[in-house]
Structure 1
Amino acid sequence: MKSKKSEFSVEKPRLPLLLEDMDLSYEDLQDESYISSASITDFHLEGESIKRLNLKETIFKGSTFIGCSFSRSELVDVRFENCDLSNVNLENAIIHRVEFINCKLIGINLSEANLKNITFSECNLRYTLFSFSKFNEIKFNECDLALSDFQEATFSKVGFYDSKLSECQMSGTKLKDIDLTSCDIEGIAIRIEDLKGVIVSPIQAVSLSKLMDIIIK
């Protein structure tokens, strides 16, 4: 079953029509660096720690940041295409009007982040940490979020479409008005009180009944 994607809109990154091709180097990414109005392709960084990085109006294509730490950074009007940000630390980051398209984000740490107008499309987000983050106008389109942690996150206009949420931890996250009918939610961990107002299919309702120790014959 396909969920309707017209319930709310997500602002796309506000990118200039012409972006300068930038040959980025590690020296350009020191603490509190500011990168703006750039198109960056095939940039590769691994295991580095950079605090308060500021990215604005930038596109990354085919780039990797495996195991890097960008805590307390700010990303505004940015697009990542076919990038690998596995095990990247973006804890306490501010991320606004950002797109992740066909990206590998396994184990990325977005806990306590402020997320607004974000689209994740066809991304691998297994084992992602979203705990205590604030979500406002976020869409997950055909993403694998299995075994991710949404504990105590705050949802406002969040959409999950044809995505995998199996064995996710969602305790303390209110799912009122969240439509999960097109998603795999097998083994989801959540408190009964957090399910109030959630939208599920009849089959999903039977699965969730296990949380209430109900036996259906």
Structure 2
Amino acid sequence: MIHIEKEEDMNIITITDCEGNVLYSLEQCEMFPNYIAVLKDAIAQGKDLTGLCIKNQNIGNVVFQGITLNNAVFENCNLHRTEFIECQANSVWFNNCNLDGFKVKKTDLTNAHIDKCSIIKAHFTRTTLHESSIFDSNLYAAVFLKTQLNNVGFHDCNLEKAEFEECSLVKTGFYNLSPTYQWINDVLFSNCILNDCNLSSLNSLSMLFIRESNIEDAELRDQNFTRVINTYTKVLYAIESDTVWWKDFRGNFEQFKDMVANDTMENGSKYYLDDFLYDELSKVACYLEQWYREQNLQF
């Protein structure tokens, strides 16, 4: 917590942990008029802020760089566009905070606990989030790039349009009891490791974008796949979900056939397939149709 204490004729601004132990303090003056200024100076001095406790404060746009923040607590705080860069921040708690535009880079956030936070358009880059728990939070359009998320639990979170690129999500779980799947609509898994990733709450995978990720090894509900790899193309087809993925294309089998035949996506945008791609994708379409029928299913 942060306090302003009066000693004789001086006001002292103190930054404390949750037990009230002083981590850093300065006399209030023109250069350090408030807690944000004192906090920024503590960061600039490279102070150890283990156990830092900040409640009901606006610390937006503050850059924590190279700081130890293990067991820190942020409660009812505004951290809009705040940055954690190369920090050691195990077991950090964020409760009811605004983390919109939050940027985390090369930081260890293992065992983080995030509850009831807005994390819209946040960016996590080359960060470790193993063993973390995220509850009832809005991660709309959040981006995770080259980030380790093994054994992370997303509980009742909105992840619409979130992107996971070159991430490890081994044994991570996505849990939501919503009767619709808007909460995970247009989520992208690109070049991700998904071994035992729990997506079993989804009846269909048609709302996801899958690129070069082993979705077959995730924990799913009655899903079967066929993957067709050629010289120039790699196509993945989820049978029960009737969903085909190729590069940025996602659609059902009929839409895939139409895209190949007309070089056109459902929204009218053109693909302009060259002869090599057209030839391979045409053969893929024929193969998938034959394979599908052999499974005693009918388009």
What's 1:175 paired with? 194
1:207 paired with 2:241, answer yes
8 Å contact kept, 1:33–1:52:
no
Quick check: which has more Rg, 1 or 2?
Answer: 2
Q: What whole-Å deviation, never above 9, does each CA across 1:93-151 have from its counterpart, x for those lacking one?
A: 11122100111111111121112221000010111111211122211101111111101
1:41 paired with 2:55, answer yes
What's 1:54 paired with? 68
Q: CA deviation at 1:33?
A: 3.8
CA distance, structure 1, for counterparts of residue 54 and residue 93 of structure 2: 10
Given the two structures, how large is their TM-score scaled by the length of structure 1?
A: 0.80
1:1-217 equivalences under 5 Å are: 19-20=19-20, 25-26=35-36, 27-29=38-40, 30-31=43-44, 32-162=46-176, 164-183=183-202, 185-191=205-211, 194-202=214-222, 206-207=240-241, 209-211=243-245, 213=253, 217=299
Q: In structure 2, what residue type is equivalent to 1:129?
A: V
Structure 1, unaligned runs of 5 or more = 1-17
8 Å contact kept, 2:190–2:213:
no
Q: In structure 1, what residue type is equivalent to 2:188?
A: Q
Alignment RMSD: 2.7
Does the C-alpha gap of structure 1 residues 33 and 89 become closer, same or farther in structure 2, counting only changes over 3 Å? farther
Does the C-alpha gap of structure 1 residues 208 and 84 become closer, same or farther in structure 2, counting only changes over 3 Å? farther
Does the C-alpha gap of structure 1 residues 205 and 47 become closer, same or farther in structure 2, counting only changes over 3 Å? farther
Q: What whole-Å deviation, never above 9, does each CA across 1:4-40 have from its counterpart, x for those lacking one?
A: xxxxxxxxxxxxxx73388992222424343223432
The percentage of aligned residue pairs carrying the same residue is: 17
Q: What whole-Å deviation, never above 9, does each CA across 1:129-181 have from its counterpart, x for those lacking one?
A: 11211122211101111111101101222111117322111121132322212
CA distance, structure 2, for counterparts of residue 104 and residue 174 of structure 1: 26
Does the C-alpha gap of structure 1 residues 82 and 111 become closer, same or farther in structure 2, counting only changes over 3 Å? same
- Find the residue that maps to 1:45 and give its secondary structure: coil
CA distance, structure 2, for counterparts of residue 199 and residue 97 of structure 1: 22
Structure 2, unaligned runs of 5 or more = 1-17, 26-33, 178-182, 224-237, 247-252, 254-287, 290-297
- Find the residue that maps to 1:50 and give its secondary structure: strand
Q: In structure 1, what residue type is equivalent to 2:48?
A: Y
8 Å contact kept, 1:20–1:37:
no
8 Å contact kept, 1:21–1:39:
no
Q: In structure 2, what residue type is equivalent to 1:167?
A: D
Structure with more relative contact order (C-alpha pairs < 8 Å, separation 6 or more):
1
- Find the residue that maps to 2:74 and give its secondary structure: strand
CA distance, structure 1, for counterparts of residue 239 and residue 105 of structure 2: 34
8 Å contact kept, 1:42–1:61:
yes
Deviant stretches of 4+, over 4 Å:
21-24, 183-186, 202-205
Q: CA deviation at 1:52?
A: 1.8
- Find the residue that maps to 1:110 and give its secondary structure: strand
8 Å contact kept, 2:112–2:129:
no
Does the C-alpha gap of structure 1 residues 43 and 130 become closer, same or farther in structure 2, counting only changes over 3 Å? same
Q: CA deviation at 1:54?
A: 2.1
